[in-house]
Amino acid sequence: MTDTVTDAVTDAGPDDVHLIGVVGCGQMGSGIAEVCARAGFEVVVTETGPAAAEAGRARIQASLGRARDRGKITDQERDKALSLITVTADFDRLADRDLVIEAVAEDEAHKLAVFTRLDATVRRRDAILATNTSSIPVIRLATATSRPDHVIGLHFFNPVPVLSLVELVPSLATDPETEARATRFATGALGKEVIRARDRAGFIVNALLIPYLLSATRMLESGLATVQDIDRGMVLGCAYPLGPLALADLIGLDTVKAIAESMYAEFRDPQHSPPPLLARMVEAGHLGRKTGRGFHSYG
C-alpha cells in the first residue's frame, strides 16, 4: 500500500471503518475474516508462519465453498470474498487497519502479547482493537496497550458465518464512542445481533453454558450415564440442537477448559473447576471435532 493511501486511512474519521485486521486464522479467526469479507470489507489476517497462513486460507476457502454449495452465496460472491482476504505471516500488514480483531487461542499470556504488539503496530490512534476472548476480562488486555479506551470485546460464536450473535463487552476504560462504533460495525455492517455484557469472566453466554458442559462431563466421569445417553437426553428431552458433550467437542475441549479456568480464577466457584476427565482429555490431545476425537469420534 502506498504512503498516500496509508495517510488517508490514518486521517479518516472515527466511523470510517474500511480496513479490517484479524489476528489468528483458526476456527474463530477464519470465520470472522469470512463474514467481514462477505460484508465487503478488505481483510488482512495474520498467522504465526507461512504454513499456518496457508492452512488458514484453505479453511476460509472450504467454508466459503460450503456456503456456495448450500446456496447461501453465489460463485461470484465466493470469489469476491476470497479476493478481499489476505492471509499472511507478516504482522506489520496490520499497521494501516481501522479495526483489528484478536482471535488467537484462549490463553491470557498469548493475548496480552498480541495486544502489546498491536499497540506498537497499528498506526491509526483511534483504531478499534477488539478481542474475541470467550472469558478473559477485557480490561486485562486493554491495559497491555497505551490506548485502553479503544479496546473492546467483540465475542463471536462458532461457526461465525452461521450464528448471528456477538457479545459486546466494554471495559471500565472503553470510551463510549468506541462502544458505539463497534456496535455499528457488528450490527450495521455485519448484520449481527448484539448483546451487551459486563466485563467479568465468562460474560453472559459462557457464564451460563460452561457450568452446564462441566456438569455433563462430571456425570460421564462418575459413570451415571453414557456419552450417548447424556447427549440424547438433552436433545430429545429439552429440544437442544446438540447435547452438551457434542457441543463441547464443537467448541474444542481445550477452549472449554481454558474458559472454565478463567471463570474459576475469578469467582472461585467449584462449579467452574474443570473436572479431571476434561483435563486428561486435553492432555491427550482429544480436543473434539478439530482433532477428530473428543467425547465423540469424528471420521
Cα separation, 73 vs 62, in Å, equals 13
Q: Is 135 a catalytic residue?
A: no
Backbone angles phi, psi at 283, to 5 degrees: -65, -30
Beta bridge partners, 170, equal 152
| Cβ atoms within 10 Å of 145's Cβ, excluding its own | 20
First to last CA, the chain: 43
Phi, psi of 182 (to 5 degrees): -65, -40
**Beta-strand pair 99-102/128-131:** parallel
The Cα diameter of the chain in Å comes to 66
Please give the single-letter amino acid code of residue 65.
G
Catalytic residue among 30, 134, 171, 262: 134
Among residues 47, 102, 155, 262, the one annotated as catalytic is: 155
The β-bridge partners of 43 are: 20, 85
**What distance in Å separates the CA atoms of residue 185 and residue 27, rounded to the nearest whole number?**
21
Spot the catalytic one: 47, 167, 261, 262: 167
The three three-digit cell numbers of residue 128, written as one number: 478499534
Q: Where are the beta strands (DSSP E) in the chain?
A: 19-23, 42-46, 85-88, 99-102, 128-131, 151-156, 165-170, 193-196
Q: Is there a catalytic annotation at residue 134?
A: yes
Q: Is 155 a catalytic residue?
A: yes
* Closest listed residue to residue 203, CA positions, set 169, 156, 254: 169
Q: 30, 132, 171, 206: which one is catalytic?
A: 206
Q: In degrees to the nearest 10, what's the CA dihedral of 135, 137, 140, 145? A: 90
Catalytic residues: 134, 155, 167, 206
